[in-house]
Amino acid sequence: MRPPILRRLLGRVASTAALALVAALLSVAGTARPAVAAGGLQQVTGFGSNPGNLQMYAYVPEGLPADAPLVVALHGCTQTANDYYTGSGWPKYADQWGFAVVFPQTTAANNALSCFGWFDPAESGRGRGEAASVAQMVEYAKQRYGSDGGRVYVTGLSAGGGMAADLLAAYPDVFAGGSIASGLPAQCATSQVGASSCQSGSVKLTPAQWGDKVRGSYPGYAGPWPRVAIWQGTADYTVNQANATALRDQWTDVWGIGQTPSATDTLPGSTTRTTYDDASGRPAVVTYSLAGMGHGLPVSPGPGADQCGAAGAYFLNTICSTYHTGVFWGLDQGTPGGGDGLPAPSGLRVAGVTADSVSLTWDAVGGAASYAVSRDGARIASPASASYTDTGLAAGSSHRYTVTALDAAGTPGTASAAVTATTTGSAPARCFTATNYAHVVAGRARTTGGLVYAEGSGDAMGLYNVFVTHTLRESPAGYFTLADTGCAA
């Protein structure tokens, strides 16, 4: 998301100099908008009255059955639906797990930078503008593709992430879950000036105040609420990472579950995952913090089960956020054959842990030829018996496990409830070298009176600016010490 510009301001008020400044700040990802994009993405017309003047594109895997899930994926500023289709990785999992994807597209006719109007109440409210157009696309998909109205999800990057948050708030009866990458809390801004304040992270509200913005978006709605994933890079200087904290506060408050984590673990790409469970023990809000990542959608090109996307402008090679978001929503449970055969194994439990291993046991399932054990959403083993020991893990690391019974043909049944296990010992230290400004923005240091001090140790780091660089060592989590003379990770 680059500095947001309202279409009215751009069309009637903005000066040539101001527009030139905005253009200089941008790295435009692309402007082509074909009627039929490459690789199976098709433009759809006539999906409704379209009050927000959006374009609808869709990817529907061949032979998709009725009652399959639906994902709505919103691009960022300067991007197109085809950019997001190509870079995000959603088509891969639509094919593998069986669901349709709608890619709404806004254009320069709405906003000079092709940003969704997350900051404009005329575009982001229930029954209004662009938000209403997206809701019409969902209804069209339910009617045309037979999509399951109980399994509709929305995701977005940057301005698309801000609009995704607004849609979750305005249409909680439509969306079962959402994922917001480098985005903003729902209804954070109602003007261009407010949008800039939101992006910089200077809007400070309590969790209850953030939650009230959701509750006020659809007065009288009492739930159920969407389950929300939040992705944010610690080195994002376009959308400050304070917005990820605000999003967490907003949605945990809506769920009434507080801001104390249920579990914290590590994933590839220097990713820290923090989970907040609902009263039943099921994850309701999950945050993914990527150390050192800038502004963009995390992707991980490659053929692996948990790899996806194409690296490029605002598609950053770190981790496949699409894969982990889909697992969080349970889209992997909709794989053809999944849930239609053997029942879910019961009694999954952690039998023991060491510094580098986790031992699991579960109750045997009648008719099972083997079992699929998954760690953090990726299958890691297929033991024949009802137990397994996962080895080679990092000390002090937390992992989430599920088990699925397989019949003689290898067809999976329904996955078990998840359990989380943490290995013994301490997590290895991490080292960060950056400017004092970047350390403060990333939450590794704080500023007082123009000077910077490391979080935890309080080590003095000098002036708060981009000209002083230091190395900080993190151990334990959240405790930083100055390590310019050497930092053993």
pLDDT band at 291 (very low <50, low <70, confident <90, very high): very high
Mean pLDDT of 227-247: 95
Model confidence at 17: pLDDT above 80: no
pLDDT band at 344, cuts 50/70/90?
Answer: confident
- Digit-coded pLDDT (tens) for 368-420: 989 989 887 667 888 999 999 999 988 888 787 889 888 887 777 777 877 88
Alpha carbon distance 286, 329 (integer Å): 11
Counting other chains too, the contacts that 93-98 makes at CB distance below 8 Å and 24 or more residues apart are: 93/308, 93/322, 93/323, 93/326, 93/331, 93/332, 94/59, 94/61, 95/61, 96/335, 97/326, 97/331, 97/332, 97/334, 97/335, 98/61, 98/64, 98/65, 98/68, 98/69, 98/334, 98/335, 98/336
The H or E element containing residue 253 is helix 242-255
Separation CA 190–CA 124 (nearest Å): 9
pLDDT per residue over 144-167, tens digit each? 999 999 999 999 999 999 999 999
Catalytic residue among 88, 147, 158, 300: 158
Rounded Cα distance between 467 and 437, Å, is 8
Three-state SS sequence of 346-377: CCCEEEEECCCEEEEECCCCCCCCEEEEEECC
Q: 74 pairs with which residues across the strands?
A: 156
Whether residue 158 lies in the annotated active site = yes
Confidence of residue 426 (pLDDT cuts 50, 70, 90): confident
Number of CB atoms found within 10 A of residue 379's CB? 15
Rounded to the nearest integer, the mean pLDDT of the chain is 86
Would you say residue 25 has pLDDT above 70?
Answer: no
Nearest alpha-carbon partner for 5 in 252, 182, 191, 178: 191
pLDDT recorded at residue 377: 64
- Chain-centre distance for alpha carbon 223: 21
In sequence order, which ranges of 301-413 are alpha helices (DSSP H)? Answer: 321-329
